[in-house]
């Protein structure tokens, strides 16, 4: 049996089903995961999204897990944050979410965590699991058992312990879950509020018939923004395929960049938790750092990617972190993604101030930001070396790729960890400067 070694990525295991990732691979990954944990009779949680291939991968993965002697807790349909919660809250030994996140329907894969929902990435275990799978020499074990458990109610109660949902004003909210697994959460979270919900594509359908579950692509937000305007909603919300990212749209139908939400939530958290550390990814606007400092917090600039962020948060006792991509992490949520916490923080501030979301966000729109632009390139290393020499007069940072700051603008160029692409971000103090510098760097990257 030949296993495609390319499915083992920097952050997870992922590929096209069944061409790249299939039941044979899933079975061996299950056995290798148990072996990797090095615990006697470990308890492992498995959750899954609603992709058409998920039941087949679930069946094979779980067979591998119990054949290797572990006990398995099947939590059924689950968002990735639900899976993380189950592992940490119930003090289990590890967990696997069957999902390909925001990728199109033909993809699927596995997100792996150990105890306390600590992520297993390329360097912290995926390479070892890959090696075990490819060698494929597993000893016979006394089989483990499969137990079923539903965790949605406990997950929601955990999220709402900091909020009084009855104090949320009767807002009109449009929500797009793209026929993906987040639909099971949305149907429950507004029950104790007076909010009016327009739930788009709520029916679970793993073929994602309306659009791919990637809210970072503007074309996937087209219907959401239209509904927000048509229904005169107070805001719009979009989740990605496994529910660990959340994107906001204001009442005018304008998409709010993830870093501005980071700045808003950081401000709100620091009001009650002064002098705490807040992490933001290196793509984020300078306004994030400025807000954290203004509110008496300690800004920490970090690498992109959930495994790097969670590791740094644990190591430095960071209370909150946010990424441009709409991932938000909270110490109180076991250093994991906390999209519902962020959602209810936003609803809370709208309710308390009686301001529109666009008014609340306006003070954070200080700079002009390009967002992330992608370029297909051949020699990533050479490009970074050339750019460093070309812009050597700026302040150079190599936390993740190459970021160079000047007095009135900055840029970041970094290689993708998952695709043959170079990613560019530019920010400037005025629109004209942004356009000029973006054009200059785009021409360079296009060769």
Distance, in Å, from the CA atom of 278 to the CA atom of 262, rounded to the nearest integer, reads: 9
Active site residues: 101
Quick one: how far is CA 365 from the chain centroid?
Answer: 23
Token readout for 94 is 């590890």
Domains and their CATH numbers in the chain: 5-154 (3.40.120.10), 172-255 (3.40.120.10), 258-364 (3.40.120.10), 368-445 (3.30.310.50)
Question: Of 248, 101, 97, 110, which is closest to residue 173 (Cα–Cα)?
Answer: 248
Token readout for 259 is 């870093």
Distance, in Å, from the CA atom of 420 to the CA atom of 415, rounded to the nearest integer, reads: 8
Distance, in Å, from the CA atom of 282 to the CA atom of 3, rounded to the nearest integer, reads: 35
Sheet containing strand 320-322, edge to edge, reads 298-302, 277-281, 320-322, 328-330, 336-337
Region label for 97, one of left (φ > 0), alpha (ψ between -120 and 50) or beta (otherwise): beta
SS3 251: coil
Token readout for 421 is 């692409």
Contact status, residue 258 vs residue 364, Cβ threshold 8 Å = no
Alpha helices in 190-221 (DSSP H): none
Exposed/middle/buried for 323, CB within 10 Å: 0-12, 13-18, 19+?
buried
Contact status, residue 351 vs residue 361, Cβ threshold 8 Å = no
DSSP 270: H
Region label for 279, one of left (φ > 0), alpha (ψ between -120 and 50) or beta (otherwise): beta
What integer pLDDT is reported at residue 420 of this predicted model? 75
Distance, in Å, from the CA atom of 80 to the CA atom of 51, rounded to the nearest integer, reads: 14
Q: What is the pLDDT along the chain (447 residues), one digit of tens a residue?
A: 689 999 999 889 999 999 999 999 999 999 999 999 999 999 999 999 999 999 999 999 999 999 999 999 999 999 999 999 999 999 999 999 999 999 999 999 999 999 999 999 988 999 999 999 999 999 888 999 999 999 999 999 999 998 989 899 999 999 999 999 999 999 899 988 999 999 999 999 999 999 999 999 999 999 999 999 999 999 999 999 999 999 999 999 999 999 999 999 999 999 999 999 999 999 999 999 999 999 999 999 999 999 999 999 999 999 999 999 999 999 999 999 999 999 999 999 999 999 999 999 999 999 999 999 999 988 889 999 999 999 999 999 999 999 999 999 999 999 986 677 999 999 999 999 999 999 999 999 997
- Beta carbons within 10 angstroms of residue 13's beta carbon: 24
Token readout for 441 is 């760097």
Phi, psi of 405 (to 5 degrees): -105, 140
Rg over alpha carbons for the chain, rounded to the nearest Å, is: 22
Token readout for 66 is 């119990």
Contact status, residue 226 vs residue 211, Cβ threshold 8 Å = no
Distances (CA, A) of 144 to 63, 69, 209: 9, 5, 38
Cβ-based neighbours of 441, under 8 Å, separated by 6 or more: 411, 413, 424, 426
Phi, psi of 27 (to 5 degrees): -60, -45
Residue indicated by tokens 């308390």: 352
Distance, in Å, from the CA atom of 237 to the CA atom of 98, rounded to the nearest integer, reads: 24
**Which long-range contacts link 122-127 to residues 24+ away (Cβ below 8 Å)?**
122/8, 122/9, 122/10, 122/11, 124/307, 125/36, 126/8, 126/9, 126/10, 126/12, 126/13, 127/8
Contact status, residue 201 vs residue 179, Cβ threshold 8 Å = yes
Token readout for 6 is 């390319």
């Amino acid at each position: 049996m030949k296993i495609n070694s390319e499915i083992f990525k920097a952050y997870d295991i992922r590929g096209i089903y069944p061409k790249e990732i299939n039941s044979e691979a899933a079975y061996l990954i299950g056995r290798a995961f148990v072996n990797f944990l090095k615990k006697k009779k470990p308890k492992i949680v498995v959750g899954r999204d609603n992709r058409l291939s998920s039941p087949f991968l679930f069946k094979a993965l779980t067979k591998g897990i119990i054949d290797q002697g572990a006990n398995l807790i099947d939590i059924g349909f689950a968002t990735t944050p639900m899976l993380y919660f189950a592992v940490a809250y119930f003090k289990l030994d590890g967990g696997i979410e069957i999902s390909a996140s925001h990728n199109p329907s033909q993809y699927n894969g596995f997100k792996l965590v150990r105890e306390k929902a600590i992520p297993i990435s390329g360097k912290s275990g995926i390479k070892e699991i890959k090696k075990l799978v490819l060698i494929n020499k597993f000893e016979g074990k006394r089989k483990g058992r499969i137990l079923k458990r539903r965790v949605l109610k406990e997950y929601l109660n955990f999220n709402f312990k900091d909020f009084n949902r009855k104090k949320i004003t009767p807002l009109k909210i449009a929500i797009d879950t793209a026929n993906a697994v987040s639909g099971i959460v949305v149907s429950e979270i507004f029950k104790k509020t007076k909010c009016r919900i327009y739930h788009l594509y709520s029916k679970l359908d793993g073929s994602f018939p309306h659009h791919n579950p990637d809210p970072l692509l503007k074309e996937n937000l087209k219907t959401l923004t239209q509904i927000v305007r048509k229904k005169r909603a107070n805001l719009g919300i979009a989740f990605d395929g496994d529910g660990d990212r959340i994107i906001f749209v204001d009442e005018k139908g304008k998409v709010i960049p993830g870093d501005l939400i980071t700045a808003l939530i950081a401000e709100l958290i620091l009001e009650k938790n002064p002098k705490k550390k807040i992490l933001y990814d290196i793509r984020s606007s300078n306004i994030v750092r400025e807000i954290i400092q203004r509110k008496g917090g300690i800004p920490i600039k970090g690498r992109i990617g959930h495994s790097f962020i969670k590791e740094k948060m644990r190591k430095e006792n960071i209370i909150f972190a946010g990424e441009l991509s709409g991932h938000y992490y909270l110490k109180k949520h076991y250093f994991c993604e906390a999209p519902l916490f962020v959602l209810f923080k936003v609803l809370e501030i709208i309710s308390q101030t009686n301001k529109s979301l666009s008014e609340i966000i306006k003070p954070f729109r200080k700079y002009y930001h390009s967002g992330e632009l992608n370029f297909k390139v051949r020699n990533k290393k050479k490009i970074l070396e050339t750019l460093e020499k070309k812009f050597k007069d700026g302040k150079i940072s190599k936390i993740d790729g190459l970021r160079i700051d000047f007095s009135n603008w900055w840029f970041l160029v970094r290689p993708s960890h998952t695709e043959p692409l170079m990613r560019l971000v530019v920010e400037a103090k005025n629109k004209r400067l942004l356009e000029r510098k973006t054009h200059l760097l785009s021409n360079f990257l296009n060769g």
